[in-house]
Chains A and B, each alone.
Chain A
Amino acid sequence: MLTLEAVSYRYAGARRAALRDVDLELRDGEVLGIVGASEAGKTTLALVASGLAPRAIGGTLRGVVRIDGRDVAAAPMHEMAAQVAIGFQNPATQLSGVTETVFEEVAFGPMNLAVPRNEVIGRTWDALASLRIEPLAERHPARLSGGQQQLVAIAGLLALRPRHLVLDEPTAQLDPAGTDLVAEALSHLSARGASICVTEQKTDLLAGLATRVAVIDAGAIAFSGPADEVLADPRLADLGVAAPSAVRLYRVADAAGLSPVARDRLTAALAEELDVR
């Protein structure tokens, strides 16, 4: 379990705090969605939760980040890396840039942690298999499509065997097909017991994936709760977050004066037709 207790964070040299008094709990085996307008603090939250802020980028942190109840303030970054993995939105910058095959790229993390050679190989094949990208193993990472690179980057995180996975807008640069691939991979993972925290602007993705959702506004948690409740909350729009397509369909049908039965049938049929969750 990963918890943030009354965490405030300010970037080095910034005037204002980017996070204020954030309390958050990522339970084992759950998928937590974080939504909010751009600049609301989603990325900062991901950086703080993964330990990169303030370790790698400086700044001032108040409050406590705990893993299984233990305060991790003093742990160096490479120890955090084995506990919490973090992925970013741009696949190109997440690849190490020193490997010539996807296999080596995925193995890069465990190699850095000096995991024994045979175990590195085993973990790498497992990570590739769980995202169904074994056929890419011999390819050059720089010669893949953006979606494939994102999957390789996520596989590189899985090979670290972290118990917590933080993903910052993992599908921001992906086409719908790529988004589906990532969503599918993530639900597989959570089904296998990993706890995942995903920040997203695409609420459609979270609607089918997250168990809980927290809404962040101006660096603070505005409200949180079970995914379907939060994503249907009318306050979302005021905080700069578009509701999922299914919720919007529902509202449009309502506004058009359809009866509750007709409305439900229409939205269900349209959702089926347009393949939205």
Chain B
Amino acid sequence: MIVRWIAALVAFLVVAGVGLVAFGNFSTGIDPGSFFDSEGANSFALILAVALVLAFFVYAVVEYLQTGSFASISRQFDTRTIVLMPLAIAFNIILGQAVGAALKIPIYLDSIGTILVGALAGPIPGALTGFLSNILWTYVVPPPFNSGIAAAFAVVAAVIGILAGLFGRAGWLRPRPDRPMRDLFAGGVVALAVVGFLAYYAYTRFYGTTFEFFNPDNTDLLFSLLGWLILLLFVAFVVGFIGLLFVRRDLTVAYVVIAGVITGSVAALISAPIAANVFSGVTGAGTDFLVAAFRQAGSDIQTATLQQGLLSDPVDKMVTFFTVYLILNAMARRTKARFPQGERLLDDGDDEVLDDLETPPSPQGAPA
């Protein structure tokens, strides 16, 4: 057991080290403010993500060599999960393709299935769902549901699945209905503080140096419009969030928001170098105009894709986590409970209901 973890850790460090030495170039152009300005440093998160995925393979191989099976992993893959995964992959591909190609809005919605599987079954099925979604999307699914770029982002999708699995395991997506106002208020403040902090950090570190949304000297019409649009979105989000929290009185809304923002920020860090290095920031989706806008403002490709990601991804993952939470709420308790990680998605009151069960006849008491 420990050997597996050590082997995986060593693999992670070796791959990350080799990656950083081979591709990273930290000696030039590090901006102490953002830390992500140079091309080499920009790939930092990507290299770590690749190392993470490879470390998982090492873990699996060592377990196989030790025990001849993948028991600790396959426990997360019961038949129910195996049946859900193709559906989840289809949700990802169909919604992602529809949103990316048809709607031309700067979000993706291509990870609903990944996050659903992660929450219900665990980090590894979640990661596999994300990874396979993007691989199949590019290499196997025929047009019109084929995307030439998805496979490049398979690592990002895998990490999203891992995060969703961890949030599910931690019980973040458990319903918390009818909480007292005091709790709801506290939850709302905490969630807004996290979002606000990340927004402020992203703004000062990644946007502030290159352009000001409301700089009075800024004569660029595009940026004034963009600034207003973003401000409007933000206001709409805050209003919607508070409304949901207090109308539904469900404290989990706050958890969903934080989970979405964290997942989105991580996804942005990993996907930015891929978008920049492989596709030069152009993916044919609705996000392109954002990249273009940031480049117009003077950012290089690396920075522009990161800026775009930090804007699109947290919003996208927040919407996605929320959708998944709605789906989970619509599922029957019994159905949820049977997934490997399902019991962590049931609300607190359920345990008491279980204790009230009328016990079935005992073997001794049962008449023949």
A and B directly contacting (CB within 8 A): yes
Residues in A lying within 8 Å of B, measured CB to CB: 5-6, 8-17, 20-21, 23, 56-58, 60, 62-63, 97
* Interchain CA distance A97-B368 in the complex, whole Å: 43
Q: Quick one: which of B333, B350, B366 contacts A8, CB cutoff 8 A?
A: B366
Asked whether A13 lies within 8 Å of B337 as measured between CB atoms, the reply is yes
Counting chain B CB atoms within 10 Å of each CB, the highest count among A8, A13, A16, A62 belongs to: A13
Given contact pairs A57-B338, A58-B338, A15 touches B357 in the complex (Cβ within 8 A):
yes
Q: Which 7 A-B pairs have the closest CB atoms?
A: A8-B360, A17-B360, A6-B366, A10-B360, A13-B334, A13-B337, A62-B360
- Complex Cα distance, B366 from A60, in Å, reads 14
Binary CB contact string for chain B from 331 to 368 against chain A (1 if under 8 A, 0 otherwise): 00110011000000000001001101110111100111
Q: Which of A5, A13, A60 contacts B360 (CB 8 A)?
A: A60
Which A residues are CB-close (under 8 A) to B363? 62-63
With known contacts A8-B361, A21-B366, A13–B86 Cβ distance under 8 A: no
Q: B79: nearest residue on chain A (CB-CB)? A: A56
A133 CB to closest chain B CB (Å) equals: 26
Contact partners of B357 in chain A: CB under 8 A:
10, 14-15
Q: Nearest residue in B to A77 (C-beta to C-beta)?
A: B79
Task: Tell me, in angstroms, the Cα distance from A264 to B350 when the chains sit together.
Answer: 58
* Known A-B contacts A17-B360, A20-B361, A97-B86; A12 and B368 likewise in contact (beta carbons under 8 Å): no
Residues of A within 8 A of B368 (CB): 5-6, 23
What's the Cα separation between A17 and B363 when bound, in Å?
Answer: 14
User: Assuming A15-B358, A60-B360, is B334 touching A21 (CB within 8 A)?
Assistant: no
Q: Which residues on the B side are within 8 Å of A21 (C-beta)?
A: 361, 366-367
Which A residues lie within 8 Å of B338 (CB)?
A: 12, 57-58
23 A-B contacts (beta carbon < 8 Å): A5-B368, A6-B366, A8-B361, A9-B360, A10-B357, A12-B334, A13-B334, A14-B334, A14-B357, A15-B356, A16-B358, A17-B358, A17-B360, A20-B360, A21-B361, A21-B366, A57-B338, A62-B360, A62-B361, A62-B362, A63-B363, A63-B366, A97-B86
Contacts of A58 in B (CB 8 A): 337-338
A241 to chain B, nearest CB (A): 25
- Complexed CA–CA distance, A14 and B358 (Å): 9
CB-defined contacts of A10 to chain B, threshold 8 Å: 357, 360
Q: Please report the C-alpha to C-alpha distance between residue A75 and residue B350 in the assembled complex, in whole angstroms.
A: 31
B68 to chain A, nearest CB (A): 18
Chain A residue nearest to B80 in the complex (CB) = A56
Distance A57 CA – B173 CA, assembled complex (angstroms): 23
Measured in the bound complex, the distance between the Cα atoms of B362 and A6 in whole Å is 11
11 other contacts beyond A14-B334, A21-B366, with CB at 8 A cut-off?
A8-B366, A9-B360, A13-B337, A14-B357, A15-B358, A16-B358, A17-B358, A58-B338, A62-B361, A62-B362, A63-B366
Residues of B within 8 A of A11 (CB): 334
Contact of B337 among A8, A12, A23 (CB under 8 A): A12
Q: Which residues of B contact A63 (CB under 8 A)?
A: 363, 366
What residues on A are CB-neighbors of B350 within 8 Å?
13
Are the C-beta atoms of B334 and A62 separated by less than 8 Å? no
Closest A residue to B362 by beta carbon equals A62
The answer to whether A15 and B353 touch (CB under 8 A), given A8-B366, A97-B86, is: yes
Shortest distance between the CB of B205 and any CB in chain A (Å):
47
CB distance from A86 to the nearest CB of B (A): 14
Nearest residue, chain B, Cβ from A61: B360
**Which residues of B200-249 have CB atoms within 8 Å of chain A's CB atoms?**
none
**Complex CA distance for A16 and B353, rounded to whole angstroms:** 12
Shortest A98–chain B CB gap in Å is 8
- Assess whether B333 is in contact with A62, with CB atoms less than 8 Å apart: no
Whole-angstrom CA separation of A12 from B338 in the bound complex: 8
B158 to chain A, nearest CB (A): 23
CB neighbours (8 Å) of A6 from chain B are: 366-368
